[in-house]
Structure 1
Amino acid sequence: MRAIWKGAVAFGLVNVPVKLYSATEDHDIKLHQVHEKDGGRIRYQRRCEVCGEIVEYKDIDKAYDDGEQTVVLTDEDLDSLPVEKNREIDVVEFVPSDQIDPIMFDRSYYLEPDSKSTKAYVLLRRTLEDTDRTAVVKFALRQKTRLAALRVRGDVLMLQTLLWEDEVREAAFPALEEDVRVSAKEREMSAALVESFSSDFKPEDFTDEYQEQLRTLIEAKLEQGETLDTEATFGEEGEAEGGKVLDLMEALRRSVEKNREGKKPAESKPKAAAKSTSKSSAKSEEAKEKPATKSASKASSSKTKAKKGA
């Protein structure tokens, strides 16, 4: 991991030197757009409205427009702001941990000790644990003032940026203003249903099924040779030079439909309310992958037959 910020947590006269690391990452398969006719890649260009030239990212500045006038702000202008120069995470207050509504959480970061002695870091961590408090802090990151919650996760101090109060929308639905009567029996049955699904949350038991099926589909197409030569198609400069059309979404749709059809008999049986385990999860995921591969193969073979017939 690469540190994205370096500074110190400051509360009172105590300073805790730290480095900031992103605590989450995206594992989704990256897809790009192509021209349906020839498979050429679609690219977006930054074009100036005045001179019509394509502008390099390094030559782009930010600006504010009030509708009548435009103010251009260079990187030097933004770097000169006092808040951007501040490299401290200032503790504003310590609050009970349950007072922060989870809807306010935005991005998560880990804090690594950035000094030879970790005593101040460990002291702050243990103090938060002993008092069951969360530190509300303010700091500057990427040209924005951030409000954040500083809390403990395992043995590590964690920083979770918070949305500002005016960024959280209020929910107001007329339907919820109606007087609805719920009987004691209905509540009892509902509670029994909840109990039948009760379990301990284990993140490792859950996977992104769509991404797994998409990966299986792509691998099947690679094995069957349904690919474009990237260099020949897009060239060294990334411009399309020709190639056949691959309707990935259609193949994916057929794969999902086949998978659903294969599941129908199993879904008609009553589900057991037993707790899920890692082994059963692994087996179910393995079972899900097979229909996707099979359907991708069928879609590919039917496509080949259609071409031969034509």
Structure 2
Amino acid sequence: MAPRAIWKGILKVAEVTCPVALYTAASTSERISFHTLNRKTGHRVHRQFIDAVTGKPVEKEDQVKGYDRGDGDYIMLEPEEIAEAIPESDKTLDVATFLPCDEIDDLFFDRPYYVTPSTPVATEAFALIREVMASREAAALARTVIFRRMRSILIRPHDAGMIATTLNFDYEVRPVESAFDDIPKLKIEGEMLELAEHIIRTKAGRFDPKAFEDRYETALAELVKAKIEGRKIKPMKRSEPAKVVNLLDALRQSAKPGKSGKSADKPSAKAEPRRKAG
């Protein structure tokens, strides 16, 4: 079944317009999912909203959103009030500026979407915009409403199409200082630094997403299969806790032939992906 577009509208660059569609690029629908059951009957159970004070069930028509001003003092917001406050979508991806593809730190990246022309007549304009952006290694920064929220979107050329990535707003990204301020500044030099550099060189590789296995999902699939087949479930073998060793000794041990795994001129397909520093 062909994927369904989550958004359709107009990509606008100055006076050039192009009808486009956005498709979800990353999905969790293939993951194993479970229902909550009543152990005694085997029947599914359903969630119910209960009044925190009276303990009585609250029907859907009696449920409203509330903003906590503190100490349990809530401001009630009716669905109609929220709907009127949300920006109306004009279905336009209006490009505000172009910038280098690597200009934005990936800390701000939220969700990726595939961008394609939504009609046959849009193909030429789409190809023109994509090719010019690719030739200049440029990305477009635009804004639109998706799922009733105003979003900033980074659009980059990719293969025959483009990738649109919704961006986190500045207030949604925690300041890097809040995580790193307590890390002491140390000067690493001499044999320790040389050994660490050697290990990185010998483990150099390229990112291949197919080389990474979701071991949690694989274990769940095997568990479900064993239950269906009536097989005895074998507990996973737990790895021994790592021994605390002297850092320099650990580096020396890691740098020994046969410990690094790969030589520098044979990149490993299973190298860990790199992310920008914050």
TM-score (norm 1): 0.67
Q: CA RMSD in A?
A: 3.0
Matching residue of 1:94: 98
Q: Distance in 2 between matches of 1:111 and 1:277?
A: 28
What is the match of residue 17 of structure 2? 15
Whether 2:87 is the aligned partner of 1:83: answer: yes
User: C-alpha distance in 2, partners of 1:71/1:272?
Assistant: 59
Q: CA deviation at 1:34?
A: 3.6
Residue 182 (structure 2) aligns with: 175
Distance in structure 2 (CA, Å) of the matches to 1:155 and 1:60: 49
Corresponding residue for residue 228 of structure 2: 222
Offset at residue 171 of structure 1 (A): 2.6
**SS of residue paired to 2:219:** helix
**Paired residue for 2:150, among 121, 125, 145?**
145
CA contact (8 A) 2:65 2:78 kept: yes
Q: Match for residue 30 of structure 1?
A: 33
User: Which of 268, 273, 276 is the equivalent residue of 2:262?
Assistant: 273
Distance in 2 of aligned mates of 1:91 and 1:61: 39
SS in structure 1 at match of 2:97: strand
Deviations 1:199-239 (A, max 9, x none): 1221111111221122112111111179xxxxxxxxxxxxx
Find 2:78's aligned residue among 69, 72, 76: 72
Partner secondary structure for residue 84 of structure 1: coil
Q: Number of residue pairs matched? A: 239
Equivalence for 2:250:
none
Larger radius of gyration: 1
1:35 to partner: Cα distance: 4.5
Q: Tell me how far apart the structure 1 counterparts of residues 187 and 86 of structure 2 sit (CA, whole Å).
A: 57
Check the 8 A contact 1:6/1:87 in 2, yes or no. Answer: yes
Q: 1:148 to 1:221 in 2, by over 3 A?
A: same
Kindly state the Cα deviation for residue 197 of structure 1 after the two structures are TM-superposed: 1.2
| Residues 1-310 of structure 1: pairs in structure 2 closer than 5 A | 1-26=3-28, 27-35=30-38, 39-46=42-49, 52=56, 55-56=59-60, 59=61, 63-65=65-67, 67=73, 69-74=75-80, 78=83, 83-117=87-121, 118-172=123-177, 173-176=180-183, 178-224=184-230, 255-257=235-237, 270=259, 272-273=261-262, 276=268
Q: Matched residues, percent identical?
A: 24
CA distance in structure 2 between the aligned counterparts of 1:9 and 1:109, rounded to whole angstroms: 14
Shift of 1:83: 3.2
Per mean C-alpha deviation after superposition, the further-off stretch among 110-119 and 96-105 is 110-119
Paired letter, 1:142: F
Q: Compute the TM-score of the two structures, normalised by the length of structure 2.
A: 0.74
- The separation in 2 between residues aligned to 1:163 and 1:52, in whole angstroms, is 39
User: Hey, what's the Cα distance between the residues in 2 that align with 1:47 and 1:82?
Assistant: 28
Counterparts of 1:170 and 1:29, CA distance in 2: 35
What secondary structure is seen at the aligned counterpart in 1 of 2:102? helix
Q: Specify the SS of the correspondent of 2:48.
A: coil
How far 1:122 sits from its partner (Å)?
Answer: 0.3
Distance 2:209 2:131 in 1: 26
Using a 3 Å threshold, how does the CA distance of structure 1 residues 82 and 123 change in structure 2: closer, same or farther?
farther
Deviation at 1:69, TM superposition (A): 3.8
How far apart are residue 5 of structure 1 and its match? 1.1
Give the Cα separation in 2 of the matches to 1:277 and 1:71. 52
Alpha carbons of 1:69 and 1:271: their partners in 2 closer, same or farther (altered >3 Å)? closer
Evaluate the alpha carbon distance shift between residue 82 and residue 69 of structure 1 in structure 2; reply closer, same or farther with a 3 A threshold. Answer: closer
What is the distance in 2 between the residues matched to 1:179 and 1:205? 35
- Amino acid in structure 1 at the alignment position of 2:261: A
Please give the per-residue CA displacement for 1:97-154, whole angstroms capped at 9, x wherever unaligned. 1211011100111112122321110011001101111101100011110001011121
